[in-house]
Structure 1
Amino acid sequence: MTVTDRTIVLAGATSASGLAVARALLDAGARVVATGRSAEHLQPLADAGAQVEVADATSLEDMTALADRLDAVDGVVSLVGGWRGGGGLVGQSDEDFHALLPALEAVRATSRAFDTALRASGAGRFAIVSSTAVARPLAGGANYAAVKAASEAWARAVAQGYAKAARDAGEPLRAASVVFRAKALDPATLAPAVLALWDADAAELNDRIIDLA
């Protein structure tokens, strides 16, 4: 398999990681659709050759509208993130918790909006970026670890849904949901890991947690 000529949606792509992944995908011959809430912040992605869409990755309505506009989608990578922490357990404020929730909301919205398209693809891939904090949460990062853990649980539920749909249809598994874990996200490490999602069979990838060294 190859990512060449496949359509990949990068949801919440205005970070350095989003730009690095977009460039790697474009260099490999993929069509990249990058979303963000600001046309200005999307401009570097447009300059790189991506199709840009001003849309909120946390909004099911926005993501469903985008899915309906695209002919076919072979991959969705949810890149909405952020960090707030410190202050021990007492310092885990409600304000910080709610500021971190968009990462989970984007995972939910994108997976639901593109579920049909990814299962219809010959090599559908859904991927999220999580943190090693899930495996070893600290009191000062409890809000962050909780949101990432919830995101991982959702992505694994997506994986089970893909497997069940294929099994019920009596067809081979063609879609996979994957979790990338990083201690400190390095765009140069994430980009090749995303490309590699189309180097392996869905059955090998589905429900995997991949540590990014």
Structure 2
Amino acid sequence: MTTALHGRLVLLSGGTSAVGAVAARTLLDRGARVIVAGRDPDKIAELAEALPRLMTQTCDLTDETSVRGLAERTHSMVGRLDGVLHLVGGWRGGGGLAGQSDDDYRFLERSLTSLRHVTRTFDDDLRASAAGRFAMVSSTAVARPLASGANYAAIKAASEAWTRAVAQGLAKAARDAQKPLAAASVVFRVKALDGLEQTVADAFCDLWDADAASVNDTIVTLEN
């Protein structure tokens, strides 16, 4: 069991996917308290049935008011968060540059919108935690964008920039308070999530074993 993770309250935002299920199980096994938030009540119910110790919340993460409601319910029921793994994603592409439609861009943009809402809403939680950790899953496409995936790469690049801004904010807050940095914001890059579910879960859990200053504002490429 990871001592530093034991008892920590962690949110998996958009955690009803396969990687979310693996991450939830791994976190629970390592002693964390886990909340999964997603917009599909059927998927939420299915995950709750599979993992009885799991806490679940139905929430439209693309809606700021809904995310604020999630925070209010979480704070009143179980307290403030110590960690967030952001798993809202999706893929649309193909057709070269001419095929990068506005409809596809708006679909993909939801992941960035939800990232903004979640990090802004729970920023105070992470700053107040004795060991706050945030991570989002990005793509190796950011380093080598293709014309057929330009929309996707652009959204992921923007999401990475936002996550690094979160890291800078955490570091500044610690400096201003003249306290050691206790929270970290990290980007995980993967080529594809299929087959890497456990790798992502373990990498997120392992963030609590590292000093916050050593992992804050880092980009970690995960491979098999």
TM-score (norm 2): 0.93
Tell me the number of residue pairs that the alignment of Structure 1 and Structure 2 aligns.
Answer: 213
Alignment-mate amino acid for residue 219 of structure 2: I
Give the unaligned 5+ runs of structure 2: none
- Pairwise CA distance, 1:44: 3.0
- The reply to whether residue 45 of structure 1 matches residue 53 of structure 2 is no
Q: Deviations over 1:145-169 (max 9, x none)?
A: 0000000000000000001111011
State the partner residue of 1:22.
24
Q: How does 1:171-190 map onto structure 2 within 5 Å?
A: 171-185=179-193, 186-190=196-200
CA distance in 1, matches of 2:87, 2:13: 6
Give the SS at the match of 2:98.
coil
2: CA distance, partners of 1:122 / 1:45:
29
Instruction: State the alpha-carbon separation in 2 of the partners of residues 157 and 127 from structure 1.
Output: 12
RMSD: 1.0
Q: How do residues 1-213 of structure 1 correspond to structure 2 at under 5 angstroms?
A: 2-47=4-49, 48=51, 49-69=53-73, 70=75, 71-185=79-193, 186-213=196-223
4+ residue runs of structure 1 moved beyond 3 angstroms? none
Residue 42 of structure 1: CA displacement?
A: 0.8
Q: Distance in 1 between matches of 2:179 and 2:72?
A: 25
Any unmatched runs of 5+ in structure 1? none
2:210 partner amino acid? A
Secondary structure of the residue aligned to 1:90 is helix
TM-score normalized with structure 1 length: 0.97
Distance 1:18 1:60 in 2: 22
